[in-house]
């Protein structure tokens, strides 16, 4: 079943958050550590390593900015855009549901 | 950001799998334990409890089959159908990518 295959690759607490952040463009490790609320350095390193192995993300060294290391989505990683878009849409809609519920109290 | 709101509700290892199973209709606890590969009874109980609290799932007692307890998606739970569909589509497409890669070796 497709859902299990997708969750095998995208499952866990952080991968969807990381992909959502990288959809805005290449990011440094320190950017990701700052942007992803609640993730530790150790977990971030492990998740990025897994995503490299799964070919969702590639690592490159910038020849301009003092050899800064950047992470960016591969074409394969970019293919998850449709999932991130639907999650974002659903999440936004839920926020309105929750706000309405709180206003009704 | 909508993705974070969605992952706050749907995140973790099992919720997407449970929703995908329940999209086929109401299920008993024992059905879910059998259908969701690798989940333990303790974790299944905890996840279902969380999903009830988050109003994704509702629990009902059958008045026909010896008071069997059924779990089914609420309307809110059903609203995640678009996410499950996109995940399933992406997962199916990945399976073909992986099969092609293995055939090329």
What confidence tens digit (pLDDT) does each residue in A46-97 have?
Answer: 999 999 999 999 999 887 767 788 999 999 999 999 999 999 999 998 877 6
Residues with Cβ within 8 Å of A27's Cβ and at least 6 positions away in sequence, in order, are: A21, A35, A70, A71, A72
What confidence tens digit (pLDDT) does each residue in B1-30 have?
Answer: 689 889 888 988 899 999 999 999 999 999
The CA distance from A77 to the nearest CA of chain B, in Å, is 11
pLDDT of residue A99: 63
**More confidently predicted of A6 and A103:** A6
Number of domains in chain A: 1
Contact B86 A86 (CB under 8 A): yes
Residues facing A61 on adjacent strands: A69
CA A78, A80, A81, A82 torsion: positive or negative? positive
Residue B57 near residue B73, CB atoms below 8 Å = yes
Q: How far apart are CA A94 and CA A53, in angstroms?
A: 34
The pairing of strands B27-28 and A57-61 is unpaired
Out of B20, B79, B89, the one facing A90 most closely (by C-beta) is B79
What mean pLDDT comes out for the span A5-21? 91
The CA distance from B1 to the nearest CA of chain A, in Å, is 7
Q: How far apart are CA A18 and CA B41, in angstroms?
A: 31
* Structural domain for A72, as ranges: 2-104
Q: Best mutation site among B6, B17, B23, B47 for testing chain A: the one with the most A CBs within 10 Å?
A: B6
Beta-strand ranges (E) seen in A6-82 are 27-28, 57-61, 69-73
Judge whether A13 is closer than 8 Å to chain B, CB to CB: yes
Residues with Cβ within 8 Å of A57's Cβ and at least 6 positions away in sequence, in order, are: A18, A22, A48, A51, A71, A72, A73, A74, A77
Structural Rg of chain A based on CA atoms: 16
Q: What is the CATH number of the domain that holds B38?
A: 1.10.10.10
pLDDT of residue B105: 53
Contact A88 B2 (CB under 8 A): yes
Q: How far apart are CA A63 and CA A66, in angstroms?
A: 7
Instruction: Take residue B69 and report the two structure tokens written for it.
Output: 């307890």
């Amino acid at each position: 079943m497709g859902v299990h295959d997708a969750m095998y690759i995208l499952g866990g607490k952080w991968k969807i958050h990381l992909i959502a952040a990288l959809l805005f463009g290449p990011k440094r490790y320190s950017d990701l550590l700052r942007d992803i609320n609640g993730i530790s350095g150790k977990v971030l390193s492990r998740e990025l390593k897994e995503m490299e192995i799964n070919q969702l993300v590639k690592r490159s060294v910038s020849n301009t900015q003092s050899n800064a290391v950047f992470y960016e989505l591969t074409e394969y990683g970019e293919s998850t855009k449709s999932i991130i878009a639907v999650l974002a849409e659903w999440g936004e809609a839920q926020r309105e549901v929750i706000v309405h519920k709180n206003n009704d109290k």
